[in-house]
């Protein structure tokens, strides 16, 4: 019977090859084989790639092979597409409940619907959230700092950490009181030392309970192409002891199994699954105590029960989402039409240079709010729109965050500081890179960035030469002393998102007047007559941003 079942499963996928031996060993040893399925940065990709129904199928397949199983999420599940936006994350929690998730941790985007809604989501969940570094500034932890799970004869300890960059990659005011004082902390101080201490305290506490293995669930990310940064998962590993494996998230990295040395020189496994369920991760704890991680990117079958929940949620939204609201004669893009990345997909450029969709979104803010300047962060433009009909779903996919349009008064110097902040990480992608309207500027890449930021990732000052040059507003050189009106969204203008600390406190002219995707719809319908035309044909935009070497 066992061999027949195994043959059926392997006929669907070769990914489970060789694992039956672990199940056969279980009858001869004290411990059963255990597999912990994990993913990170799903971002509402309920049917993308493997999909949630595929994840449920993997779990049932491993259980059929004799494994004890767990299912965990490493953050950024509830935000990123229409299904999350329309339900403020609740539909995703309902799906996770149906899949019987065991543990989850908050990613930075779990907070994007506000602190009250975040807490409502965690209460809606039938599984616990844990965090070793999310607490009030008074020192009270918001969730348990660790969890002990007994499974397959093993006693496992789970600890967790969320990136302190959450302050600027979500909405800063969600973590502040009405006077702008921070009332929450992610242990962000002392160049990473506070984070390391918080994690070590949780590890020591769970080790004291006699666990066999310590598994860290992390939404910290890695910096594969640059220097080690204080808040990365690898930095936490090198500054702590007692962790056996880190299931990571945040940087959308595909990493099956890397080995990082901890503070005692011991090996720690580091793994991450990418984004949008590109992969489902499996952490094996074998009967002999050895551990290994593996990534699977094929769907063996769709679990019918899970798919039924997904279909029900989709049906509730389809009528709204499929409504055609406009059309476009050209493809509106976030990517480079002539280049592909290492994954073979079009190279995303909206976070590092001008695109036609960036121009359109910035024009929408400036025009509808009747401002001198329109700004949109590249990280807030999340999807392309193909030529043809534009549906509500297309618009929400471009702007899924639900930010509110605002207009403020700023000085030319504030504008210059913001442009410098947005350009400081080039050539790397930066969610704070600025797509503009009513303004043009140049970025001199030969200049070394000299932007200073604080522990919260917010702009402080520029100490050296500036990269951003030849800034023109309405065809005239910008005047640092002059007052201009700036249209964007509350994430930047009122909350200082992406570290844009130069804006909060500025005089507000128009406050929270339209949700971001409605700004884009209204601009296309009311100002462009319902059709995006040839003026936006060039995928690289209209020459508003010039980058020189």
- Each residue's pLDDT tens digit in the chain (549 positions)? 333 333 334 444 444 444 444 444 444 457 899 999 999 999 999 999 999 999 999 999 999 999 999 999 999 999 888 788 888 899 999 999 999 999 999 999 899 888 999 999 999 999 999 999 999 999 999 999 999 999 999 999 999 999 998 887 777 888 999 898 999 999 998 999 999 999 999 999 999 999 999 999 999 999 866 566 789 999 999 999 999 999 999 999 999 999 999 999 999 999 999 999 999 999 999 999 999 999 999 887 899 999 999 999 999 888 888 889 999 999 999 999 988 877 777 889 999 999 999 999 999 999 999 999 999 999 999 999 999 999 999 999 999 888 889 999 999 999 999 999 999 999 998 999 999 999 999 999 999 999 999 988 899 999 999 999 999 999 999 999 999 999 999 999 999 999 999 999 999 998 887 789 889 999 999 999 999 999 999 999 999 999 998
Identical fold for domains 2-311 and 322-548, yes or no, is no
* Whole-number pLDDT of residue 228: 65
CATH-assigned architecture of domain 2-311: 4-Layer Sandwich (3.60)
Distance of CA 55 to the CA centre of its chain: 20
Q: Find the helix packing angle between 304-321 and 90-98, rounded to 10°.
A: 160
Give the β-pairing of 154-162 and 135-136. Answer: unpaired
* Whole-number pLDDT of residue 549: 86
DSSP string, 36-55: EEEE---TT-TTSTTHHHHH
Gap between the Cα atoms of 466 and 493, Å rounded: 22
* Whole-number pLDDT of residue 301: 86
C-alpha to C-alpha distances, 289 to 154, 212, 281, 522, nearest whole angstrom: 9, 9, 19, 59
Gap between the Cα atoms of 133 and 218, Å rounded: 11
User: What CATH number has the domain spanning 322-548?
Assistant: 3.90.780.10
> Domain ranges in the chain?
2-311, 322-548
* Whole-number pLDDT of residue 226: 58
* Whole-number pLDDT of residue 13: 43
| DSSP 8-state symbol, 449 | P
* Whole-number pLDDT of residue 170: 76
* Whole-number pLDDT of residue 213: 98
Gap between the Cα atoms of 9 and 59, Å rounded: 12
C-alpha to C-alpha distances, 524 to 37, 43, 236, 363, 539, nearest whole angstrom: 43, 27, 47, 10, 18
Gap between the Cα atoms of 463 and 441, Å rounded: 20
């Amino acid at each position: 019977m066992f061999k027949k079942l195994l043959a059926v499963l392997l006929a669907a996928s070769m990914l489970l090859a060789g694992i039956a031996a672990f199940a056969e060993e279980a009858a001869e040893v004290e411990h059963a084989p255990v597999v912990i399925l994990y993913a990170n940065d799903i971002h509402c990709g309920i049917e993308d790639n493997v999909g949630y129904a595929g994840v449920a199928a993997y779990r049932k397949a491993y259980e059929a092979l004799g494994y004890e199983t767990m299912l965990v999420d490493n953050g950024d599940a509830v935000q990123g597409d229409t299904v999350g936006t329309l339900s403020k994350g609740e539909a995703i929690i309902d799906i996770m409940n149906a899949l019987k998730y065991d543990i989850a941790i908050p990613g930075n985007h779990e907070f994007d619907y506000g602190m009250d809604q975040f807490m409502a989501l965690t209460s809606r969940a039938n599984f616990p959230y844990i965090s070793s570094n999310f607490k009030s500034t008074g020192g009270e932890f918001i969730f348990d700092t660790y969890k002990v799970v007994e499974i397959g004869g093993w006693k496992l300890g789970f600890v967790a950490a969320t990136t302190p960059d959450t302050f600027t990659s979500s909405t800063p005011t969600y973590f502040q009181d009405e006077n702008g004082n921070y009332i929450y902390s992610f242990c962000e101080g002392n160049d990473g030392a506070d984070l390391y201490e918080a994690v070590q305290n949780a590890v020591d506490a769970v080790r004291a309970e006699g666990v066999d293995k310590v598994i860290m669930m992390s939404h910290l990310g890695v910096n594969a192409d640059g220097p080690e940064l204080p808040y990365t998962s690898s930095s936490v590993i090198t500054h702590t002891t007692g962790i056996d494996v880190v299931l990571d998230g945040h940087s959308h990295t595909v990493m099956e199994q890397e080995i990082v040395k901890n503070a005692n020189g011991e090996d720690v496994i580091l793994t991450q699954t990418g984004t949008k369920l590109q992969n489902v991760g499996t952490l094996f704890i074998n009967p002999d105590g050895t551990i290994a991680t593996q990534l699977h990117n094929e769907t063996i079958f769709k679990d019918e029960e899970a798919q039924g929940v997904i279909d029900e949620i989709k049906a509730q939204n389809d009528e709204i989402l499929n409504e055609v609201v406009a059309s476009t004669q050209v493809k509106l893009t976030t990517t480079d039409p002539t280049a592909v990345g290492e994954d073979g997909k079009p190279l995303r450029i909206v976070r590092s240079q001008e695109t036609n969709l960036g121009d359109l979104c910035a024009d929408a803010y400036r025009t509808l709010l009747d401002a001198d300047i329109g700004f949109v962060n590249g990280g807030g433009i999340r999807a392309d729109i193909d030529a043809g009909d534009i549906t509500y779903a297309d618009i929400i996919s471009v702007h899924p965050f639900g930010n509110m349009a605002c207009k403020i008064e700023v000085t030319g110097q504030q504008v210059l500081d913001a442009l410098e902040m947005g350009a400081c990480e080039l050539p790397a992608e930066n969610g704070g890179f600025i797509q503009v309207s009513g303004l043009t500027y140049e970025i001199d890449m030969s200049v070394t960035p000299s932007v200073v930021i604080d522990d919260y990732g917010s702009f402080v000052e520029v100490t050296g030469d500036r990269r951003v040059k030849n800034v023109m507003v309405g065809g005239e050189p910008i005047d640092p002393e002059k007052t201009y009106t700036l249209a964007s969204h509350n994430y930047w203008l009122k909350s200082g998102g992406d570290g844009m600390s130069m804006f909060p406190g500025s005089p507000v002219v128009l406050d929270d007047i339209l949700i971001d995707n409605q700004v884009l719809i209204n601009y296309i319908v009311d100002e462009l007559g319902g059709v995006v035309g040839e003026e936006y044909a060039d995928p690289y935009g209209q020459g508003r941003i010039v980058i020189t070497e």
